[in-house]
Structure 1
């Protein structure tokens, strides 16, 4: 990887003036549900009317959270940038149980090494993560996500912000129409 390519591509979709930020933890079932609605939201509200930004809030009870956030952000440093990162997010969402501990503390992943987890993610996503995963520049991006979440008082996932304000009454179980109405209404 060349030095010029060593930056994380922002996970920003759409180009409209209304900003919808979604704070996700990759293995949280509610975050996976919210993430699965991003394309439908962009279609419903209009890519020229809203901008969706994916943010990450690593949560310690999801024990592989930090490792997987690093993998997602590493993928954004590869060719294809944010679209490559979405392949990794898609793989985690599709196989969520294989990247999480049973009841947050046990099960087969207790015996898995971080290398085995990353290799599993590479196999599911088709994204060769290792070179980017080892990039030192990634630390800055990971810390930025953590700091941004904390500065906005966000500790759980998913959390939603509209134009910089937390929307405590929006949830992953809401219809996309409710999200679109909040953004456009």
Structure 2
């Protein structure tokens, strides 16, 4: 039996000592809002001062959450690694309603299949990750994200942690400067 080696690139940017972890569900409007601020956060706080880590928080009321989470992690195994995963998250966020249900239960996505969702993400991201999506044990990476969130008492997205401590005072509605202040003063 041939075993294929693969590695999911950690979804981390920057190399600073302060660690900002964001728990995001890819189709949650508030998670998308937070995701869209992460590059500005790194720029304003300085990549030498902070490390930003994305933790995926799949949520069952976002009906395609599991499929999309797997797409993101599959993309992280591609040569572009974390930047490929980021491109998938951006593609989903930029076209969020094409991956979501109206009121979490109705609408045209009722007729969509997982293959439809994967094809849409590939089209919008410009990446081909269908083979990576089928990695037999990719679910170990998905389970790691779920377990890590549970161990830290995180149940919804977005949730923010600084240096391992949940920050209930931070939200996706904050200006980036508020996040910078919380991280580096």
TM-score (norm 1): 0.97
Question: What secondary structure is seen at the aligned counterpart in 1 of 2:160?
Answer: strand
Question: What secondary structure is seen at the aligned counterpart in 2 of 1:22?
Answer: strand
Task: Indicate whether 1:161 and 2:161 are aligned.
Answer: yes
Task: Give, in whole Å, the separation in 2 of the partners of 1:102 and 1:180.
Answer: 34
Note the residue ranges of structure 1 that are not aligned, 5 or more in a row: none
Aligned to 1:106: 106
Deviations, residues 126-162 of structure 1 (Å, cap 9, x unaligned) = 1101110000231110000000000011011000000
Deviations, residues 78-108 of structure 1 (Å, cap 9, x unaligned) = 0110001111011001000000001100100
Aligned to 1:77: 77
Count of equivalent residues? 183
Aligned to 2:145: 145
How far did 1:19 drift? 0.2
Task: Give, in whole Å, the separation in 1 of the partners of 2:160 and 2:69.
Answer: 18
Note the residue ranges of structure 2 that are not aligned, 5 or more in a row: none
Question: What secondary structure is seen at the aligned counterpart in 2 of 1:8?
Answer: coil
How far did 1:75 drift? 0.1
Aligned to 2:46: 46
Instruction: Provide runs of 4+ in structure 1 moved above 2 Å.
Output: none
Question: What secondary structure is seen at the aligned counterpart in 2 of 1:85?
Answer: helix
Aligned to 1:32: 32
Task: Give, in whole Å, the separation in 2 of the partners of 1:73 and 1:83.
Answer: 11
TM-score (norm 2): 0.97
Whether contact under 8 Å (1:7, 1:137) holds in the other structure is: no
Task: Give, in whole Å, the separation in 1 of the partners of 2:129 and 2:63.
Answer: 20
Aligned to 1:92: 92
CA RMSD of superposed structures (Å): 0.9
Task: Give, in whole Å, the separation in 2 of the partners of 1:169 and 1:40.
Answer: 20
Structure 1 stretch 15-24 or stretch 117-126: which is displaced more? 117-126
